[in-house]
Structure 1
Amino acid sequence: MKKRIVKTLLGAALAASMIASTCTGVLAESEENVTLTWAVFETDNYTAEVWQHIIDAFEADNPGIKIEKVLMTGDSRPQFLKTMLSAGNMPDINIDPVDLASTEGVYAEVPEELLAKFEDSAVVSFNGVKNLVPAYKAYRTQVFYNKHQFEDAGITEVPTTWDEFIQVCDTLQEAGYTPLMGVGAADIWATAFGYWTGVVNSELYTAYPNFNEDILSGELSWENDVLIDTLKSWQTLTPYYHKGSMSFSNTQATSEFLSGSAAMFMDGAWSTTTIDNSDEYSADDFGTFMMPTPSGAKTYCTMPQYWGVSETCENKEAAFKFCEYVLGGNPDIYRYYLQADGTFSVTKDPVTYEMGPVQTEFVNNLEGYTLVPEAMKVVGDNAFPTGFEDYTLKSLQNIFTGADVEQELSTWDAEMERLASAQ
Structure 2
Amino acid sequence: MGDPALSRRGFLAATAAAGLGMTALSGCGSGDGGSSSSGKVTVEWWNISTTQPTKDVWAGLARKFEAQNPHVKLKVVQLENDAYKSKMTALIASGKLPDIFHTWGGGVLKQQVDAGLVEDLTGGTKPWADGMLSVAKQPYLIDQKLYGIPFDIGMIGFWYNKAHFKAAGISEPPTTWSGFLDAVRKLKTAGITPLALAGKESWTGMYYWAYLAMRTAGLDALQKADEDKDFTGTGFVQAGQHLKDLVDLQPFQKGFLGAAYSAPTGQAAAVGNGKAAMELMGQWAPVVEADAGKGLGSDLGFFPFPAVDGGKGAITEVFGGGGGHALRKGAPKEAVDFLKFFASETTDLVLVEKTKTLPVVPGAEKALSDPNTKAVQAQLKAATGFQLYLDQAYAPAVGQQINDSVAGLIAGSKSPEQVTQAITKTAKEEQ
Task: Provide closer, same or farther for how the CA distance between residues 412 and 163 of structure 1 changes in structure 2, counting only shifts above 3 A.
Answer: closer
Code of the residue aligned with 1:235 in structure 2: it is K
Q: Which of 3, 15, 30 is residue 22 of structure 1 equivalent to?
A: 30
- Provide the rounded CA distance (Å) in 2 between the counterparts of 1:120 and 1:337: 19
Code of the residue aligned with 2:285 in structure 1: it is S
Q: Which of 42, 63, 67 is residue 60 of structure 1 equivalent to?
A: 67
Code of the residue aligned with 2:30 in structure 1: it is T
Equivalent position of 2:156 in the other structure = 140
- Provide the rounded CA distance (Å) in 2 between the counterparts of 1:162 and 1:178: 18
Task: Provide closer, same or farther for how the CA distance between residues 344 and 139 of structure 1 changes in structure 2, counting only shifts above 3 A.
Answer: same
Code of the residue aligned with 2:212 in structure 1: it is V
% identical equivalent positions: 19
How far apart are residue 67 of structure 1 and its match? 0.7
How far apart are residue 326 of structure 1 and its match? 0.6
How far apart are residue 324 of structure 1 and its match? 0.8
- Provide the rounded CA distance (Å) in 1 between the counterparts of 2:171 and 2:278: 15
- Provide the rounded CA distance (Å) in 2 between the counterparts of 1:104 and 1:57: 34
Equivalent position of 1:322 in the other structure = 338
Task: Provide closer, same or farther for how the CA distance between residues 241 and 120 of structure 1 changes in structure 2, counting only shifts above 3 A.
Answer: closer
Contact 2:159–2:300 (CA under 8 A) maintained in structure 1: yes
Matches within 5 A, 1:281-300: 281-295=295-309, 297-298=314-315, 299-300=317-318
Matches within 5 A, 1:2-401: 21-24=29-32, 26-27=34-35, 33-45=40-52, 47-72=54-79, 75-87=82-94, 89-96=96-103, 98=105, 99-102=108-111, 103-115=114-126, 116-121=130-135, 122-123=137-138, 124-127=140-143, 129-141=145-157, 143-182=158-197, 184-193=198-207, 195-204=208-217, 207-209=218-220, 211-212=222-223, 214-218=224-228, 221-238=230-247, 239-251=250-262, 252-274=266-288, 280-295=294-309, 297-298=314-315, 299-313=317-331, 315=332, 317-328=333-344, 331-347=345-361, 351-364=365-378, 369-374=383-388, 376=390, 383-401=393-411
Contact 1:179–1:262 (CA under 8 A) maintained in structure 2: yes
Q: Deviations over 1:398-422 (max 9, x none)?
A: 1111211112211222312323x4x
Contact 1:150–1:172 (CA under 8 A) maintained in structure 2: yes
Contact 1:180–1:263 (CA under 8 A) maintained in structure 2: yes
- Provide the rounded CA distance (Å) in 2 between the counterparts of 1:134 and 1:265: 25
Contact 2:110–2:142 (CA under 8 A) maintained in structure 1: yes
- Which has more helix, going by share of residues? 2
Task: Provide closer, same or farther for how the CA distance between residues 319 and 175 of structure 1 changes in structure 2, counting only shifts above 3 A.
Answer: same
Task: Provide closer, same or farther for how the CA distance between residues 259 and 149 of structure 1 changes in structure 2, counting only shifts above 3 A.
Answer: same
Equivalent position of 1:12 in the other structure = none
Count of paired positions: 387
Contact 2:119–2:326 (CA under 8 A) maintained in structure 1: yes
How far apart are residue 180 of structure 1 and its match? 1.7
- Provide the rounded CA distance (Å) in 2 between the counterparts of 1:360 and 1:129: 31
The unaligned stretches of length 5 or more in structure 1 are 1-18
The unaligned stretches of length 5 or more in structure 2 are 1-26
Q: SS of the residue aligned with 1:191?
A: helix
Q: Deviations over 1:311-365 (max 9, x none)?
A: 143x1x111111111112xx22222234555332334655542322333344445
How far apart are residue 375 of structure 1 and its match? 5.5
Contact 1:45–1:340 (CA under 8 A) maintained in structure 2: no
Name which of structure 1's ranges 111-120 and 34-43 shifts more when overlaid on structure 2.
111-120
- Provide the rounded CA distance (Å) in 1 between the counterparts of 2:285 and 2:153: 15
Q: SS of the residue aligned with 2:216?
A: helix
Contact 1:149–1:177 (CA under 8 A) maintained in structure 2: yes
Code of the residue aligned with 1:136 in structure 2: it is D
Name which of structure 1's ranges 270-279 and 166-175 shifts more when overlaid on structure 2.
270-279
How far apart are residue 90 of structure 1 and its match? 2.2
Contact 1:191–1:246 (CA under 8 A) maintained in structure 2: no
CA RMSD of aligned residues (A): 3.1
TM-score using structure 2 length = 0.79
How far apart are residue 233 of structure 1 and its match? 0.8
How far apart are residue 171 of structure 1 and its match? 1.6
Equivalent position of 2:18 in the other structure = none
Contact 1:181–1:265 (CA under 8 A) maintained in structure 2: yes
Name which of structure 1's ranges 31-40 and 303-312 shifts more when overlaid on structure 2.
31-40
How far apart are residue 211 of structure 1 and its match? 3.2
- Provide the rounded CA distance (Å) in 1 between the counterparts of 2:239 and 2:81: 30
Task: Provide closer, same or farther for how the CA distance between residues 100 and 346 of structure 1 changes in structure 2, counting only shifts above 3 A.
Answer: same
- Provide the rounded CA distance (Å) in 1 between the counterparts of 2:94 and 2:162: 50
- Provide the rounded CA distance (Å) in 2 between the counterparts of 1:76 and 1:45: 18
Contact 1:153–1:172 (CA under 8 A) maintained in structure 2: yes
Contact 2:272–2:296 (CA under 8 A) maintained in structure 1: no
- Provide the rounded CA distance (Å) in 1 between the counterparts of 2:215 and 2:391: 14
- Provide the rounded CA distance (Å) in 1 between the counterparts of 2:329 and 2:379: 41
Contact 2:187–2:194 (CA under 8 A) maintained in structure 1: yes
Task: Provide closer, same or farther for how the CA distance between residues 404 and 20 of structure 1 changes in structure 2, counting only shifts above 3 A.
Answer: closer
Contact 2:48–2:81 (CA under 8 A) maintained in structure 1: no
List structure 1 segments (4+ residues) > 6 angstroms apart after TM superposition.
276-279
Contact 1:202–1:300 (CA under 8 A) maintained in structure 2: no
Code of the residue aligned with 2:117 in structure 1: it is V
Code of the residue aligned with 1:408 in structure 2: it is V
